Amino acid sequence: MDITVVDVPEKGRFEIRDGERVVGLASYHVDGGSMTLPHTEIDPAMGGRGLGTRLVHDVLVAARERQVTVLPYCSFVRKYLVEHPDQLDLVAEDDKPTFGLATADH
């Protein structure tokens, strides 16, 4: 597999591709200093290969590079953040309770 993640801003999404074939996507919308992440999907035929995890990782890297916070409406993105607490700083403190991401020390 030749896996790449590509930002396609004209479609408002990041695509994960195997070669030229789109095998998944994460939709997004940037407004000011926030990136809303409402939906992520992977082709069911490509499931179980870690593609969703790779996609979300790369989207969060892009958010960090753009210096925006994320609004993880997508449940898969929230699950990723719980499993990777080092990335939780991408969610603004005031937004964490909204997404069930409040940390125990707060």
Task: Give the burial string for 71-83 (b: 16+ CB within 10 Å, else e).
Answer: bbebebbbebbee
- Domain coverage including residue 62: 3-99
Examine residue 69 and state whether it is found in any structural domain, yes or no: yes
Examine residue 105 and state whether it is found in any structural domain, yes or no: no
Examine residue 106 and state whether it is found in any structural domain, yes or no: no
φ and ψ of 43, to 5 deg: -55, 125
* Number of domain units in the chain: 1
Examine residue 23 and state whether it is found in any structural domain, yes or no: yes
Examine residue 70 and state whether it is found in any structural domain, yes or no: yes
For residue 79, the surrounding DSSP H or E stretch is: helix 75-83
At 102 the pLDDT is 78
Examine residue 33 and state whether it is found in any structural domain, yes or no: yes
Residue-wise pLDDT for 31-82, tens only, equals 999 999 999 999 999 999 999 999 999 999 999 999 999 999 999 999 999 9
Q: CATH code at 46?
A: 3.40.630.30
pTM: 0.93
Residue 19 has pLDDT above 60, yes or no: yes
At 60 the pLDDT is 98
Examine residue 104 and state whether it is found in any structural domain, yes or no: no
At 103 the pLDDT is 63
